[in-house]
Structure 1
């Protein structure tokens, strides 16, 4: 179980945290000719090898890196603007399935870890999941419903403020779950509703209200699910 958590952590770092938007744009434009595609593949292999912490795992790290590159190439060549969201989900599912298969292949072998604290790896992966990866996931999923007023809105809000607010609220929910303060989640949701009420009232746009509500509920739902899963993993570890 902990091996999968480490591999997932490596995936989150390589695919989201340490992959700038400029890399993604270059890969989408040049596909297999993009140098950043191969840097991205190499980065994944290095991250997996380091986090696995075992020299004998290197062939599996190479396997993960190669399959990651193949999956990315398939996505780059087949995704279009209208189905980009679908290919994003398919791409991530394929990567996770590869990690599961590698763990199943390796489960009967000993794997001495350079860090034996399972709690660290479980917490680190859970927290990282709720930052940029979840933000990208939510943005991709709800982009199809983005109202015109949201797309064309040029207000005086801080740059990327909504993204950071979403990350913070998910981390708060995550902490509330792990400390068994479920009632605080309702308080946080109510507080956010109060602050958003003025903007939504002034907008007088039902689609915008529904768009914000969908995004908020997905964000809170993922945070709650992550908190419950981390609790379960901690009990099993």
Structure 2
């Protein structure tokens, strides 16, 4: 892999994670079956990719069209009852990653010819850290939620609205930061603290206990996987 390929691929990747997980609201996800909303999301992908590359609007437009096609296939081909499950989410994201890798392979000099080319060496580490943080926290939410979707109705513990989502975001962010800071042993204290705080809830029934354990392990596992992958890439580059 060349430095130009890596820079172009990373620029497209950070644009993708911002478009899919930061700027795509829940309303947009819910209404993506409407062509106008689908086109709006594709335009956001185009704008962010062009900005991240510092130009290269042709590559940005190509990726936006590919993103549009993948999202349209998921929206219209996958039944609505299955759309929030884990497999459509992972398939969708892997397809996006494959198009980004292919685009960077075919047009590796896109970033090198853009406005930010002279700052590439300084931007790569910060771009990787940011991409990893978004992937660990915001991208982990739909993954864990999709895994838990079949069990949600029968074992959902009572609590505040969106509390589980916020807790998941915070715990994955803390895990990511601990790994990045070289203090992964702190994750053990996080597990112990959550176990103590959740003791009354999980003691109510076996179903709720298993639901919380599976969700916690999935959330922790996702964050650890992304954090160590990000750390390895930073050390490699």
Superposition TM-score, scaled by structure 2 size: 0.87
Q: Per-residue displacement from partner, 1:181-213 (whole Å, max 9, x unpaired)?
A: 222111111111111111111x22x12211111
Distance apart, 1:26 and its partner CA: 2.0
1:43 aligns with 2:48: no
- Kindly report structure 1 stretches of 4+ aligned residues shifted beyond 4 Å: none
Of 167, 173, 187 in structure 1, the residue corresponding to residue 175 of structure 2 is 173
Matches within 5 A, 1:1-237: 1-28=6-33, 30=34, 34-53=35-54, 55=55, 57-84=56-83, 85=85, 86-107=87-108, 110-112=112-114, 114=116, 115-116=119-120, 117=122, 118-150=124-156, 155=158, 157-201=159-203, 203-204=204-205, 206-237=206-237
CA contact (8 A) 2:155 2:211 kept: no
CA contact (8 A) 1:72 1:91 kept: yes
| Structure 2, unaligned runs of 5 or more | 1-5
SS at match of 2:141: helix
Change (3 A) 1:58 1:165: same
Superposition TM-score, scaled by structure 1 size: 0.87
CA contact (8 A) 1:147 1:207 kept: no
Q: Tell me the distance in 2 between the aligned counterparts of 1:113 and 1:223.
A: 33
Change (3 A) 1:21 1:190: same
Q: Per-residue displacement from partner, 1:52-95 (whole Å, max 9, x unpaired)?
A: 11x3x211111001111111111111111343223222221111
